[in-house]
Amino acid sequence: MTISGAKQETIIFAIETSCDETAMALVACKGGITNPRFRIIKNEVLSQINIHKEFGGVVPNIAKREHITALPQMIKMFESLPEFQKAKIIAVTTGPGLTPALWTGITFARELEKKTDKKVFSANHISGHLYSFLLSNPRNMNSLFPMIALVASGGHTILFLMKDLLTLQKLGETRDDAAGECFDKGARLLNLPYPGGPELEKLAMLGCAKTVNFPRPMISQKNYDFSFAGLKTSLLYKLKNNNKANWKDISVSGSSQNTNAKQNADIAASFQQAIIDCLLSKSLRAAKTFHCRSIVVSGGVSANKLLRKEFTREAKKNKIRFIAPEMRFSVDNASMIAASSYIENLKGIRRNFQADGNLAI
């Protein structure tokens, strides 16, 4: 089965199980590589957050167990739709991600292929994030290129230059932790529940970002790489020093609960600002260097409201268009897997059909 890419709609049924979200989507796709258009028929996500919360992070075998239970339940919401019968393609994430979790989606997709007239295709999770902005059908597609695309998620932070949807060049990536991982580890140090990113963002809203001058690792280096591990260590030391100082305060003046809460909000705001500054600075420099007309940010971190605000402001100053996916498509979902599968089929990309936790884009 190939996708002609012309006027006819191709309906794709997509499955995503790379981490702690079981997701399925039915997406109608049409148009060629210069103007692909998407219509979401149904998009379902079942999050396992509450189950993993007590462990402070995702436990791969529990994720696997939960996907195995959720997949047959979730497909019931799709099977009765006429468009589901019309879908001849199943797109399933084969990597990167947690290998046991990936296998659940792959096995489920293969079983479905055996029972129906649908053909299964392998999809890459990072490509899913990268192309997720297309689900909003941005106007004047041609005027977006060349484009800088930043994918910032829990597992990856990669900066791409795109001359068009077909021509992708990796400019740089993180040398250690991903931006989302930095949010998550920072949140844990601040005793915030999992998943850390949105919790740290909430706390940061109550604080002042100018309070602590956290380092901006690699920000002045003339490359497009990132490094976030040192930032987390700086936060650890800052909190240790504060604790010592607060103990002294308590012995002099009694309770320091309010001071602590205010201090933590200021620290969270400063920490968040440092991450955003690094992402923004490199994206903007790349966009100027390569005379780009747009910057796209995707992946879970692109759900951060301050990040969106600052990218929008700086892009506007530089007459560059800024695009982020719809909030529901910033975090993991299956519609983005359908979109990337459509684009990659148009490009003629075929991937190995096996779970690969470290699958490259």
Residues 46 and 359 sit within 8 Å (Cβ to Cβ): no
Residue whose C-alpha is closest to residue 93's, from 34, 49, 180, 153: 153
Q: Determine, following the binding rule CB under 6 A, whether residue 154 of this chain makes contact with ligand KG4.
A: yes
Binder to ligand KG4 among 84, 108, 160, 183 (CB under 6 A)? 183
Residue 76: exposed, middle, or buried by beta-carbon count in 10 A (0-12, 13-18, 19+)? exposed
Residues 93 and 128 sit within 8 Å (Cβ to Cβ): yes
Tell me the closest approach of the beta carbon of residue 275 to ligand KG4, in angstroms: 8
Residues 13 and 91 sit within 8 Å (Cβ to Cβ): yes
Q: Which stretch binds Zn ion (CB under 5 A): 24-32, 283-291, 311-319, 328-336?
A: 328-336
Q: Can you tell me which residue has the tokens 């990072």?
A: 126
Binder to Zn ion among 94, 132, 153, 345 (CB under 5 A)? 153
Tell me the closest approach of the beta carbon of residue 332 to ligand KG4, in angstroms: 4
Q: Which stretch binds ligand KG4 (CB under 6 A): 50-58, 66-74, 279-287, 295-303?
A: 295-303
Binder to ligand KG4 among 180, 186, 207, 325 (CB under 6 A)? 180
Residues 133 and 323 sit within 8 Å (Cβ to Cβ): yes
How many Å apart are CA 327 and CA 140, to the nearest integer?
21
Binder to ligand KG4 among 149, 190, 331, 339 (CB under 6 A)? 331
Tell me the closest approach of the beta carbon of residue 110 to ligand KG4, in angstroms: 23
Tell me the closest approach of the beta carbon of residue 179 to ligand KG4, in angstroms: 7
Question: φ and ψ at 175, to 5 degrees?
Answer: -90, -10
- Name which of 109 and 268 has its Cβ closer to ligand KG4: 268
Q: Determine, following the binding rule CB under 5 A, whether residue 20 of this chain makes contact with Zn ion.
A: no
Q: Which residues contact 268 (CB under 8 A, 6 or more apart)?
A: 186, 190, 200, 203, 204, 207
Q: Determine, following the binding rule CB under 6 A, whether residue 98 of this chain makes contact with ligand KG4.
A: no
Note the residues at the interface with ligand KG4 (CB under 6 A): 19, 129, 153-155, 180-181, 183-184, 195-198, 201, 299-301, 303-304, 331-332
